[in-house]
Amino acid sequence: MKILVRGANWIGDAVMSIPAMRELRRLFPDDEITLYARPWAEGLFRDADFIDQILTIEARGSNFRDTLFEARRLKKNEHDMAVLFTNSFQSAAVIRLSGIPRRIGYSREGRGVLLSDAIKPPIWKDERHQAFYYLNIIERIEKGFLGSSTVAAGDPVCELAVTDERRRSARSLFADAGVDPMKKIVAFGPGSTNSMAKRWGEAKFAELGQRLQTELGTNIILLGSESETDVSRGVCALADAHFIDLTGKTNLAEATAILSEVDVFVSNDMGLAHVAAAVGTKTIVIFGPTNAAATRPLGDHAEIVRHPVECSPCMLRKCPIDHRCMTRVSADEVFEKVKRAFNAKSQRRKDAKI
């Protein structure tokens, strides 16, 4: 059987769908699984062992012409089943027009008629982690196709492989950028592409980075997309220290490899936080207006910093009052967490030598 997975449209969501894709592979070990997703997904999943290939979306829009163009592309591949992790009408229309006979996804945005197996969204969606939202689809597939129920048997595992070759490339990039190889590396993600309210603030990141350099002698690297260059420049301008700003200068594949080679990643609630935790890097994420219970990075490598306030999580993109959920998180507090992460890593190395 040829299975097509319509991947999630955001980086963080894509990482949170990894447990579902791993379960799909476990259930169908000998079938061909193709991830159909936006072009950046190739940089994230190129070393993944739970898919056979990646087919990227070429159309840039979502009008009828773009929908028909993508449907014709898919039709040539003659897939037997499509699994949709997206919720949009347009993504389901592409799959329907491509002629794939089994089309499984959530019945949202009036698209139930486009799916052969429409699943009602679970009532617990905002109460459990997003990974379970995707796993629920695979659970329904298992029951329908195999008559068994083993998918939700354990905690979701979000792990991404990065080859040694890509890690070496990241270290080479460090050398070209002026990173001191004798010092620890802390990377910052000070931006957020879809919400100003999720940002901890330029001054906070500047203060934290300055303390890390002054007291712990660390390299500080800034990462993010091209749309986040302004906030990174603001952080650099406010700090009396030397930061290496790579914001907008790397693609997702390079950023993923970089995150696998740094010692700690400190960020707002953003896609790269999920990537960093998935590649095994200690990740400290500052949460405020968003629901950490549903969208935090998964795994032992991730740690959440959050000060509960009466209006959080509000899910607003711009705070209408004083942004108290974020301003109450101090640079001192995050500094101590980074320091403890360094100490824990050093202790693990000592224990490994015994």
**Segments making up each domain of the chain, as ranges:** 2-153, 165-353
pTM above 0.85, yes or no: yes
Residue 353 phi/psi, 5° resolution?
Answer: -85, -15
CA distance 136 to 168: 38
DSSP lists the bridge partners of residue 144 as none
Residues 6+ apart with CB under 8 A from 61: none
Position 124 scores a pLDDT of 93
Position 348 scores a pLDDT of 67
Sign for the CA dihedral angle at 13, 202, 198, 213 comes to: positive
CA distance 110 to 290: 26
State the amino acid at position 352 in one-letter form.
A
CA distance 75 to 79: 8
Position 353 scores a pLDDT of 65
Tokens of 198: 């999720």
Q: What angle do CA 134, 139, 140 make, to 5 degrees?
A: 100
- Ranges of H-type helices in the chain: 11-16, 18-27, 41-45, 64-75, 89-97, 130-145, 164-177, 202-216, 229-238, 252-261, 271-278, 292-295, 324-327, 331-353
Closest CA to 6 of 80, 77, 72, 103: 103
Residues 149-171 as b/e (b if ≥16 CB within 10 A, e otherwise) read eebeeeebebbbebeeebeebbe
Asked if 199 and 236 touch (Cβ cutoff 8 Å), the reply is no
Closest CA to 306 of 172, 200, 231, 227: 200
CA distance 87 to 111: 9
Q: Establish whether domains 2-153 and 165-353 are of one fold.
A: yes
Which fold is adopted by the domain 2-153? Rossmann fold (3.40.50)
Which fold is adopted by the domain 165-353? Rossmann fold (3.40.50)
Could you list the pLDDT tens digit for every one of the 354 residues in the chain?
A: 999 999 999 999 999 999 999 999 999 999 999 999 999 999 999 999 999 999 999 998 889 999 999 999 999 999 999 999 999 999 999 999 999 999 999 999 999 999 999 999 999 988 899 999 999 999 999 999 999 999 976 789 899 999 999 999 999 999 999 999 999 999 999 998 888 999 999 999 999 999 999 999 999 999 999 999 999 999 999 999 999 999 999 999 999 999 999 999 999 999 999 999 999 999 999 999 999 999 999 999 999 999 999 999 999 999 999 999 999 999 999 999 999 999 887 766 666 666
Position 233 scores a pLDDT of 97
